[in-house]
Amino acid sequence: MRNTSSIERTVTLRVDAQDPSGAGVVHTFGKKILVTGLIAGERAALHIKNPQDTYPEAEIKKIVEASPHRVEPRCPVFGRCGGCSLQMLAYPEQLALKRRVVKSALQKTLEDRSVLVRPTLGMTDPWGYRNKVQYPVGRDGKFPVIGFYAPVSYRIVTNRGCPIQHPEADLLKAALLAHMKKHRISPYDEREGEGLVRTLMTRKGFATGEVILILVLNGGGMPAMEEFVESARAAVPALTGVVINQNTKKSRVILSRENRVVWGTALLTDKLLDHTFELSPNSFYQVNHSQAEVLYRTALDLAAIGPGDTVFDLYSGAGTLTIPAAKRAKMAWGIELSAEATADAERNAKRNNVENVQFIAGDVVKEVTRLIDKKKISPDVIILDPPRAGCDKPLLLMLAGARPKRIVYVSCDPQTLGRDLGILELHGYRVAEVQPVDLFPHTGHIEAVALLEPAPKRRS
C-alpha cells in the first residue's frame, strides 16, 4: 500500500469556489479542503498537513495569483483566529457573495422557478459593530490568556483591538487578565473541566452607551471580587453592571441560567427603532445595532401591517420586533420558549406604553395551536424569526393552514431558510421576494428576510 504521508505536501492550486462559510475551496489528494483566507479564482501555494486525514488542514504559503477583490485584512491575527473569514475580501464583493449564497440555497428547494433575491443591504462602515463579545479564558503554559478560539480548536488566540468588536471589550479583558495574574486565579480547562474563570462576556447598548460585564465562572465567586469590580469600573466608566453567571457543567454552552448581580444591574438598556428595551444576560439581542434596525425595518415593511391586523410574532425573544409590529397592528402576540426573555418582553411593552400586545412563554407549536384552535384567533400576518435550525415541519404546516395574508420569515441560515420556504410553497404559499441583510461583515454569516403570500389558485 502506498504511504500517503510521504507524498509531497506543498502544492500550487486554483481556488475552485467560495464556501458559504467564506473559506476558499480547493481539491487535492482526492479531497475537498476549505482554506480560510483564499478567494475563488486565486492560485496559491499551499502546505497540506496530513493529506491522509479525512479533513486535512492547509496553510497558505504564497498567493501566486491574487484576486482583484483581495484587500489587506485589518486584524493582525486574521486566519489564526476562528472569528472572521472574509477580511481579505473587499466589502462590496462580500455583499455580492452573500447574495449568491442565499440564491444558491433557495435554488435547491425552489428549483421550478427563479425567486427575486435583492442585493444585500450592507453597512457604510463595516467595522466595530459587534455589541456582544464572548472571550473564552484559558491557559498558555503557566499564564492565563483571553482571546478567541482558533478554528476547530480549544487553543485560544490572543489579540488586541479586534476590529469588529466594541472597544470596551478589550479594556475589560485587560482588567480581568491583570486581576487573574495578580491573585493567581485559575482559568477553566475545557478538556479537564477544571479551573474557575470560563468566559468574559460583555454587552453594549450602542444607542445608550451602557456596558454590562458577565463573568462566567465554574463556581459561585472569584477572589477579590470587589477589587475587580473597581478596576473594571475604572477601565470603563460606562459600565452599569457586573454579573456572575455560574456554569459548572462540562459543556461548551457558554451561559447557564444562574445569574447573580455583584454590582449595579444585570439589565442592559438600549434603543431600537425608537423604542427602549431592557435585556437580561440570557436574552437574545442582535449583535449589530445599526443593521438590526435595517433588518427589522425591512421585515416590518414587507409585513405591511394594517391597523386592523392581528399579528403573530414567533420566537419573539425580548419583544424587539413584536413591539414595533404591535404599534402598527390591532393586536400582536409574541411567543417565545424562554421565560426570561418573555419577562423582558412584558417589561419592555410596559416601558414603551404598548398595550395591544400579549407575550406567551412556551413551546411555539403548542402555543400557536392553542391560539388558533382553542382561542379561535386568526392571524392576518405571521412573522417568524427562528434559531439557526429553522422551523419544525408541523409548525410550518399549521401556519400555512391558518391562511394569513402574509408570512415574513427572518432567517440567520440560508440553508434552513430554503428548506422551510420549500415546505411553505408546497402548502399554498409563494415566495414573493427575499432581502439579504448583512449583520456580520467579514464573516460568512448572512441574515435574510423572505416575504410569502398565498399562491394564486390554479385554473382547472
Rounded to whole angstroms, the Cα distance separating 327 from 155 reads 47
* Cα torsion through 276, 282, 287, 291, rounded to 10: -40
Q: Which candidate, 406, 363, 352, places its Cα nearest to that of 383?
A: 406
Q: For this structure, is 412 an active site residue? A: yes
Please list the alpha-helical segments (H only) found in 3-128.
91-109
Q: CA separation (Å) from 157 to 22, 83, 216, 407? A: 20, 10, 19, 43
Catalytic residue of the set 81, 84, 162, 412: 412
Nine cell digits for residue 315: 420566537
CA angle 350, 356, 362 (to 5 degrees): 80
Q: Is the separation of the CB atoms in 385 and 313 below 8 Å?
A: yes
Please list the alpha-helical segments (H only) found in 283-392.
289-303, 322-328, 339-351, 364-369
Rounded to whole angstroms, the Cα distance separating 409 from 215 reads 34
Rounded to whole angstroms, the Cα distance separating 312 from 406 reads 11
Q: What are the catalytic residues?
A: 412
